[in-house]
Chain A
Amino acid sequence: MESISPDGDSGDKYTINGDCSPTSNKDSNSLNHAKNIDDISTPSELKFDEDFEFEDPDVTKKRKELEKCLSNPDVVNLEQWVNFAKSKAGLISDEYRRKIWPLLVGVTQEEMTEPPSLDELSTHPEYNQVVLDVNRSLKRFPPGIPYEQRVALQDQLTVLILRVIMKYPHLKYYQGYHDVAITLLLVCGDKASFPLLCRLSYGPSAPLAPFMQTTMQPTQHLLNYMLPVIRRADERLSDCLEKSGVGTMFALPWYLTWFGHSLNRYADVVRLYDYFLCAAPLFPVYVTAALVLHRAPDVLLCDCDMAMMHCLLSRLPDDLPFEDILVTAKKLYDENDPTDLEPEVAALEKREEQQRRADEERMRRRAAERAGRGRAGGWRALPAALRRPGPRRAALALAAALLAVYVYYRPDLFREREDDL
C-alpha cells in the first residue's frame, strides 16, 4: 500500500492509541473536512452515486403518488405502503424510505428514543466482535464521506447493535448483523433504526431472529428451502448444483444480511430492503432461489466443481435485474408455499446427515490407521533464524522458501503419511 511508507513515522502511527487498522490518509482526511458532524442526523444527505438523468415514467408517476401520501400520511393504510414498497422501484428514494420504513414494521414515534453513549455499552461481552466488524464496514459507507462523519456513524452503529442485544440478551450477535444494522442506520438515522432493528430481531415472526440463536442450525435449515424451490423450477440446474456439491454456503451472506454484504450498489440493497421489510420472513430465501435461477446459464457452463461453483455464485455481478428477480421470487413463493416444501427439505437434510456420518466414519478410520503407525512426521525443518522477521527479511524469506523446498523434496527426512493425498 503506497500510503504507508516504511519510515519511522508510520511505524508510530499504528501504535498511537493502539489502532492497528491501516486506514489510509486518516490524518489528511480529518484535517480537510470542516463539515458539521450534526449532518449525520440527516443521513440521506449522504449521496451514493445515484443516477437521476433518466427516470422511468412509471417511477415518476409513483414518486408523485408517494409524495401525495406522505403529505397526509394519517389517511394512508399499511396495505398502501406495502404496495408501494413491493411494486416496481420500491420506495424510490431514501427521503421517502426514512419515513415509510418505520411504518412498514409498525414502529411508532414514541419508540424512537435517544441512544445511550458508547461508553455505557463497552463492557458487553460481544463488544469486541461488534467493533471489529463495524471497523471493517468501510465499504458500506457512501464514497467520499468525511472521516469524522464516518467514524461518528460507526460509533452509532456499534451502539445500535449493542443496544438491541442488551435489550434481548438471549439474542446472539452474528457477523452480518452489522450489515443489516448499517443499512437501517444510513436510511433512518440512529433514533428510528433502534426500534426498527428490534422488530426485525425479536418476536415469533421476526425475520432475523432465527440467525440470532445459539447455533446457526435454524439458519441453515431455513436456507435449505432454496434448493427444493430451485429444483421445482429447473431440474437440470438443480442437478448441476447438487452434483457439484456446492451446498448453500454461497447464499449464506445474502440471507444473513439481506444482500447488504454482497451487493456493491447501495440502490439495489435499499430496494431489496423495501420489499423484505414487509414480506414473509422466508421471502429472502426465495429471492436467493430466483437469483440462482436467473444465473442458470452461467451455472450450467461452470465446471462441475464445488470450489468453482461456490466462486461463481458467491460473487454477484453489478447489473442484476432485481425488479425481475423480485417478480420471479414472488411467483416462486406463491407457487411453492414453505409448508409444501417441508418434506423435500427433510429429505435433503437426511441425505446430508448420512453424508456427515460417512465422513465421520472415514475420519475415524484414518485416525485408527494413524494410531497404528505411530506419530506423523513433523516439520523439524526450518532453522529459527530463517523464520523470524528480521532486517534482511526479503532475502531470508526467499532463502527460507528455497530451503523449505529442499527439505520437502527429501521425503526420507520424514516419516510421511501418504494417505491424505
Chain B
Amino acid sequence: MSEPNEPVPGLKQKKVFKIIVLGDSGVGKTCLTYRFCEGQFLDKSEATIGVDFRERTVRIRNEDIKLQLWDTAGQERFRKSMVQHYYRNVHAVVIVYDVTKPETFHSIANWMQEVESHGLTGAPRVLVGNKCDCGTPESRLATTYAQRLADKHGMPLFETSALLDSECDNVESIFMTLAHKLYSKQPLRVLSVEGERGPRLVTLSRQKRNNSSNDSCLCS
C-alpha cells in the first residue's frame, strides 16, 4: 500500500519509512516520538490507548523522506489482537526500556520475540535506554550490561533522555540512524561513499538547538 518504492504515476511522492516503537508501559515511547517529531518534551504525556501516530519529514541526500512513527500501547492486553495489524509493512523497529527500571530491560526478550513472530527479524532495529537523566549512575542499568544484549541481537544501543533538551541530538540520531539505514537499503540505488560525511547529509529540520556550554547531561 505505501511501500517506500512504490511509484505513483504523475506524482512525485515522498518516500515513507514506517517505524514501530515498542517497549513496556511508561518507559517513554510517547515522549521520545514526540521529542523527535515536535522538537520538545511532552509535558503532560498520557497513557497510549491502542496505537498513536506521529510523523516528520527529514532530508536525506537531498531527498525528502517521511518518517512515520507508530507509538504503541505498552500494556500486554492491547498487543495480541490489536497492535498486530500495525506490524504490517513496518520497515524498522525501536525497542525502548527505562534505564531506572531493570524489569523493563528484562522484557526486551519478549519484545524481540514479538518482533520475530511478525517476520521482522531482518528489519533494522535499535535499542534505546531512556530516562538517563533520572537516578544516580549506580541506580541506572549499567551500559555494559545493556550493550551486551544489544550486541547479542546485533542492534545499536542508544542511551538518552526524552526530557533533556541537551539530549535532543541523541534522540535525533536514533531515528536518523534508522532512516539512513533504510535509505541505504533501497535497491537499485547507486550509492557513492565519497563526500557522504558532510553535515549537509543530516538535515535536522525543525530542531530547536540551544547547546549552551553548561547544557550537559545529568547522567554523567
Contact = CB atoms under 8 A, between A and B. Distances in A.
Interface residues of B, number: 95
Interface stretch (A6-14, A54-62, A231-239): A6-14
A72 interface: no
Interface in A54-112: none
A328 B93 CA distance: 41
A376 interface: yes
A175 B79 CA distance: 12
B216 A393 contact: yes
Interface string B118-159: 110111101000011111100100010001000100111111
A398 B173 contact: yes
A406 B197 contact: yes
A8 B18 CA distance: 39
A307 B48 contact: no
Nearest to B60: A405
Contact of A14 (B135, B157, B170, B211): B135
| Most chain A beta carbons < 10 A, residue from B75, B131, B164, B173 | B173
B122 A420 contact: yes
Contact of B173 (A129, A138, A384, A404): A404
B180 A20 contact: no
Contact of B197 (A175, A402, A411): A402
B199 interface: yes
Nearest to B70: A307
Nearest to B134: A20
B22 to A, nearest CB: 15
Given A363-B118, A402-B197, A420-B122, A217 B81 contact: yes
A394 B126 CA distance: 19
Interface stretch (A155-163, A194-202, A247-255, A331-339): A247-255
Contacts of A394: 166, 169, 211, 215
Contacts of B199: 402
14 contacts: A1-B40, A4-B163, A14-B134, A20-B135, A215-B80, A217-B80, A249-B82, A307-B2, A370-B121, A379-B154, A400-B177, A401-B176, A404-B180, A408-B180
